[in-house]
Amino acid sequence: MLVLVAPGQGAQTPGFLTPWLELPGLADRLSAWSDVAGLDLIAYGTTADADEIKDTAVAQPLLVAASLAAAEALGASPDLLAGHSVGEFAAAALAGVITAEQALGLVRERGLAMAKSAAVTATGMTAVLGGAEDEVLAALTAHGLTPANINGAGQIVAGGTLEQLTALKEEPPARARLIPLAVAGAFHTDHMAPAVSQLRVSAAAITPSDPSVKLLSNADGQVVGSGAEAVERMIKQVSNPVRWDACMATMAELGVTKMIELLPGGTLTGLAKRGLRGVETVALKTPDDLDAARELIK
């Protein structure tokens, strides 16, 4: 069983789209999607620096466009689809719930709304690696932090105010390593609540279709059979924790044997190597990885 997965914010790096523009038709596709997103996706994916593409309003459309473009270049027919955080919009489009253009339009509004919410209070996120899960979660609760991403494989991402994150750094959980993340705010926490309302208004004009391929939800890792429910879950997910651990558990239950991570790949296949042992993986980073991905599909 093959699962295609789309990465979330933080996976982008300067210039990551450059080699992909050599593929026939891909530049034209990105140019058309740039009009929808209201951003020059080609420029942001090739010449922009790290600070420019860290901007939430830029990073989210850029990542979704990159995943969709890579999926089109790959041409695979997966048995299962999933996305991490904003990657859910790419997965929903590939499942036929919404069109690529609708996904990019919604993600544009999502990014703007989340950036606006992040500007209200100085917030951030810190990855907590290792430690006993119950002790890590207890430490986050003690400092008023939210486990914004429970990624499995010994990785939990804490979200909250900078003061709360500093307190966690000064009093970390036992046997855990803390890594501050280069993000603009505490995503998937209550700090993003205003963005939920704004995104729901934007989504009201869309009539989603039911998924044509099994689609997993970040909310609980379960398969979502209704297009309307899939969109509603993605809207709510803006201020709720991402349960990638639950998504991987469902992948194991369904019998996933192969995983291909769409552009810019590496994060989710890295988690799978520890959380889904025995599953063959390929991460799409450059067009050279397409051959390995196609060989995996065979």
Q: Check: CB of residue 263 under 8 Å from CB of residue 20.
A: yes
Q: Check: CB of residue 125 under 8 Å from CB of residue 9.
A: no
List the catalytic residue out of 67, 117, 143, 188: 188
Query: What six digits make up the tokens of 294?
Result: 């196609």
Q: Check: CB of residue 175 under 8 Å from CB of residue 131.
A: yes
- Site of tokens 């989603």: 208
Instruction: Render the burial of 157-188: b for 16+ CB within 10 Å, e for the rest.
Output: bbbbbeebbebbeeebbeebebeebebbbbbb
Question: What is the chain's alpha carbon radius of gyration, rounded to the nearest angstrom?
Answer: 18
Chain centroid to CA 101: 18
List the catalytic residue out of 34, 67, 84, 85: 85
**Residue 143 falls in the annotated catalytic set:** no
Of 79, 69, 84, 65, which Cα lies nearest the Cα of 8? 84
Query: Catalytic residue positions?
Result: 85, 188
